[in-house]
Amino acid sequence: MASQKTIEIVKSTAPVLAIHGESITKVFYQLLFQNHPELKNVFNMTHQTHGTQSKALANAVYAYAANIDNLAVLSAAVEQITQKHSSLSITPAMYQLVGANLLAAIKEVLQDAATPEIMDAWAEAYGDLASLFIKKEEQLYQNAEAKKGGFRGQKEFAITKKEAESSNITSFYFKPADGSAIPSFKGGQYIAVSVQIPDLEHLHTRNYSLSGCPTQNTLRISVKRETGSPDGVVSNFLHDHLVVGDTVKLGIPAGEFVLAKTEKPIVLIAGGVGITPLMSMYMELFHFANNEVLFVQCAKNSSVHAFKAKSQKLAKQKPSLQTISLYDEPLSTDIADGVQEFSGLLTIDILKEKLSTLDAEYYFCGPVGFMKSVKQMLESAEIPASQLHYEFFGPSEALA
C-alpha cells in the first residue's frame, strides 16, 4: 500500500491531470515507442493514430489519482484492463518500461510543477498499481493454463475454414497447429490475433470477439473488412491473404462481457459487426440454457447482415429462442421479399411486443452511437443499470 503522504500528494494532482492528462499520455506513447519500438508488436497502432488510446489512458490515470484512497470504485475498470492485458500477454517487465516512460512524460509536460516530491509520490503509486495488475494477470494466466487446451502467452493456430457471412464479414475458424484441444472460453470473450504483414515493420495485433461456441471444437472469429488506412490494415490482410492452412498467433480467450447466471429473459441487441460476441452468447444459450431469449439484429440491410440464417435455424430448433431483424436502409429486394421484420430503429415498443416482460438482462454491442441509443432507450424504460451489459470494440468510453 502507498503511504498516506503519497496518497495525499497523488490525489492532489488529480485536477492537474484533468487538464494536462491527454498531453501527458500523448508524450508517454511517443517516448515509449521511441525507446522500445518492440512494443508496437503489442499495441494497436491504429488507436495511436486516432488518439483514442491516449485519451483512454488519460482518463484512467486521472481516475486512479482521484480515487487512490478508494480503489474499490475502480474494480470494474481494473478487471477490464487485466482481461485485455492477459489477452495481449503483457509481462511484468513491460510494466517497468511503461512506468519509466510515464514518469518521464509527466516531468516533460509539467516541467517545474512536477517537483521531486510529486515525482517520488507518483513513482511509488505507479509501483503499487503495477503490482496490483501483475498479481491479477498472473492469476489469469495460471487459470488459463489450468483449463483444457490452456496455454500461456501466444500459440500457433491454423486456419481450418474461411467462410463469408455477409458482403463485408468473413469468419475464420482456428485449431491449434500442434493438434491439441482448443482452449475453453465463454460466449462474449475475445482473443488477440497477431499477424506479420509483408513490408510492414512490426507485428500487428488486434482483439477480435469469438463468434462461435466451444461445441464447434474450433475458435471462430468473424471479421468486418474495414475501409481506409490504417483502419483496415489487419482486416484486409485477413480477408485478402490468409487461406486455409495458414497459421497465426493467438492469445488466450479473455474478457468479462459474458453471460451472468439468471432466470430472467435475456435480450441480445446487435448493431452491425457487434453481432459477433452476441452470436457466441446466443449459441451458448442454445446449447446450455433454457431462458427466454430474444436476439435483435440491427443492420443497414440484408447484404451486410451476418448470421441471419444461422441464428434463425437455431431458433427453429428451440422454442425459447427468437430472432428479429431491423434494417434502417433496406434494399428494394428486402422489402419485396418481406425479408426485414422491422424497418428503422429499435424501439421499446418492439421489445414489448416480442418479450413476455421487459424485466430482462440486456446485452448489446455495436458502434458507439448505436450503443448510446440503446442504453438511453432502456434507461427511459426504467431498466436498472445492473441489467445493462455492453462491450466496446477498442478503448472504452462513457455512454452518456
Residues designated catalytic:
95, 137
Asked if 62 and 14 touch (Cβ cutoff 8 Å), the reply is yes
Q: How far is CA 132 from the centre of its chain?
A: 21
Q: Which residue has the cell 487461406?
A: 243
Say if residue 338 is exposed, middle or buried (CB neighbours under 10 Å; 0-12, 13-18, 19+): exposed
Q: How far is CA 15 from the centre of its chain?
A: 29
Question: Residue 217: phi, psi to the nearest 5?
Answer: 60, 30
Question: Residue 289: phi, psi to the nearest 5?
Answer: -140, 165
Distance between CA 356 and CA 204 in Å, rounded?
46
Contacts of 59 (CB under 8 A, 6+ apart): 21
Distance between CA 254 and CA 141 in Å, rounded?
10
Asked if 175 and 160 touch (Cβ cutoff 8 Å), the reply is yes
Could you write out the three-class secondary structure of 22-37?
Answer: HHHHHHHHHHHHHHCH
